[in-house]
A and B are shown apart, each in its own frame.
Chain A
Amino acid sequence: MKLVSPLARSQGGARALARRRPDLRGARVGVLDNSKPNADALLGRVAELLVERAGAGPVRVWRKPGSSRPATVIDEVVAHSDVVLTGSAD
């Protein structure tokens, strides 16, 4: 039998990603903590390792107002960072 699919279309749209840098020497690392437990510890440690091993830095940390709330500081993160680390879910 012929049926109508219940999987409706999505709003779609495609976005280009920012060009990557050749290396992270002197790159300001923004950390956007999604405020899940230990996200700050993981992201912060990864940022530290990028400083130690790839010459990145300085590191600056922002935090979402809650894990189930959108970030309110995106513009500020963009203004003060060259690369960004963030978390999704747990």
Chain B
Amino acid sequence: MPAVVLGTDAFVSLAAAAAAALGMPHLPLVAVPHPLGGVAPARIRAKAEVVVDQVLAALTRDPAPPAPAARAVVAAPVEAPDDLDAFQAFALAEGWGDGLPVLPPTPARVARILGGRRGDEVVATLAPRRGVATLEAIAVNAALAGAGPEHLPVIAAAVRAVAEPRFNLNAIQTTTHPCTPLVIVNGPIAARLGVNAGANALGQGARANAVIGRALRLVLQNVGGARPGQEDRATQGHPGKYAYCLAEHEAASPWEPLHVERGFGAGESCVTVCGAEAPHNVNDHGSTTAGALLLALAGTLATPGHNNVYLGGEPLVILGPEHAQTFAASGWSKADLKRALWEGARVRLDRFGAENLARFAVIDPARFKDRPPDAEVAPCARPDDLMVVVAGGPGKHSAIVPTFGATRAVTVRVEE
């Protein structure tokens, strides 16, 4: 079937990468001037006039077959500068890095990280490039990130998790939305590796959090092929795209931990990935009861600008341990909190603009179409879609973490 793909000039690199990944690097692409969204109909019609001849040509002339050079890159030994500073420039020029210094993936370091495991085991195939994440490829990126052999099982588990179809990795990798996989570690491996679940769990300072999160990001970039500004089309991104990993503070939680809630044993080590925005703080130093504290959490979640409010999905709440204890002291279970938050974090439809309402009415008619301005929408489809974990140190802070929406969190066991 002769087909032509249209997109804006700002996004042609993504369309070209998608076509190449599907084995069609010569698929005709026609670019119109960016943007299309938020543009009046008359200007859209004008843009159509500009490209119609190109579309006609693309449908009536056979494109030249692709050059052999357009075929897949094969991993091969690479000669790099010995000098560490020169190596940084080399790594960035090769597109290997994230801007921070990386460590050289020498064959010896990669072998040490693999620790006798079979490197050719295929862990996953990663979108958008359909890159083959063998355990060796993961180990090479772990070596770049500064990880050790002890971190590899968690990193590999996270790679396996993001490749599950319900995670929707292709969209997470290429969207303009600022999301990235947040890795939540549960079970005994968290303490064994020193994955920080306490004070500053989402901040700097713990090697395990840093290297696990960073290695996953480098795998997504180098194996999955989501290069910033090219296939990774994030408008702004967020700082967690360098590394976004924490452990749940299971000992400080009054409730069952996330992995148990999701069907695993308490003694099993698991990682959960969710396509997450940056955390937004909920400061509440005053409340002494669940009902009062809920107001701050619900008010922070009830905003018209995040994806979950119109796409659904699973917004995440990271409760500080002291806030979790406030809920528990009022006799609330985790399910009670989810139900109350889901009912309390409603957004009235008159808080959305008319154009957005019209768009959301097409996407989710049941919640947005032909409803009065004082009707309200919940932050996700059902209370149990809210994810709640406990992490952090002393203090009266929690975090709301909206997600990409068109994604489901995935929990997998860490295979050691």
Contacts and interface: CB of A to CB of B under 8 A. Distances in A.
Contacts of B171: 68-69
Nearest to B22: A15
Contact of B14 (A3, A19, A77, A88): A88
A14 B141 contact: no
A83 B52 contact: no
Interface string A26-58: 010000000111110111011011100110000
Contacts of B35: 90
A15 B110 contact: no
Given A3-B104, A5-B78, A45-B48, A12 B71 contact: yes
Given A6-B105, A81-B1, A66 B23 contact: no
Interface stretch (B55-63, B296-304, B336-344, B381-389): B55-63
Given A1-B80, A42-B47, A17 B62 contact: yes
A4 B362 CA distance: 48
Given A10-B131, A14-B23, A23-B60, A3 B80 contact: yes
A21 B137 CA distance: 43
A10 B38 contact: no
Contacts of A9: 72-75, 131-132
B36 interface: yes
A1 B86 CA distance: 11
B32 A42 contact: yes
A74 to B, nearest CB: 10
A77 to B, nearest CB: 8
A85 interface: yes
B334 interface: no
B106 A1 contact: yes
Contacts of A42: 6, 32, 36, 44, 47-48
Report the contact-size class of chain A (Cβ under 8 Å from the partner).
35 or more
A6 B218 contact: yes
A48 B49 CA distance: 10
Interface residues of B, number: 94
B132 A10 contact: yes
Contacts, number: 223
A46 B78 contact: no
A86 B23 CA distance: 18
B79 A2 contact: yes
Interface of A is mostly: loop
A83 B1 contact: yes
A5 B77 contact: yes
B7 interface: yes
Contacts of B23: 12-15
A8 B131 contact: yes
Contacts of B363: 35, 66
Contacts of A53: 52, 56
A40 to B, nearest CB: 9
A33 B63 CA distance: 23
A17 B63 contact: yes
A90 B37 CA distance: 7
Nearest to A77: B1
Given A2-B78, A6-B223, A21 B62 contact: no
Contacts of B233: 89-90
Given A10-B129, A13-B23, A68-B171, A5 B406 contact: no
Contacts of B131: 8-11
A45 B38 CA distance: 17
Given A6-B222, A10-B21, A17-B26, A36 B37 contact: yes
B280 interface: no
Contact of B144 (A6, A22, A48): A6
A5 B72 CA distance: 14
Interface centre among A4, A5, A24 (most CB of B within 10 A): A4
Contacts of A41: 36, 41, 44-45
A41 B37 CA distance: 10
A17 B28 CA distance: 10
B326 interface: no
B75 A8 contact: yes
Q: Which 3 A-B pairs have the closest CB atoms?
A: A68-B171, A45-B48, A8-B137
8 contacts: A2-B80, A3-B104, A4-B77, A6-B218, A11-B125, A11-B131, A17-B63, A42-B48
Given A5-B140, A19-B62, 12 more contacts: A1-B79, A1-B87, A3-B106, A6-B96, A11-B72, A15-B23, A23-B60, A53-B52, A77-B1, A82-B2, A84-B3, A88-B14
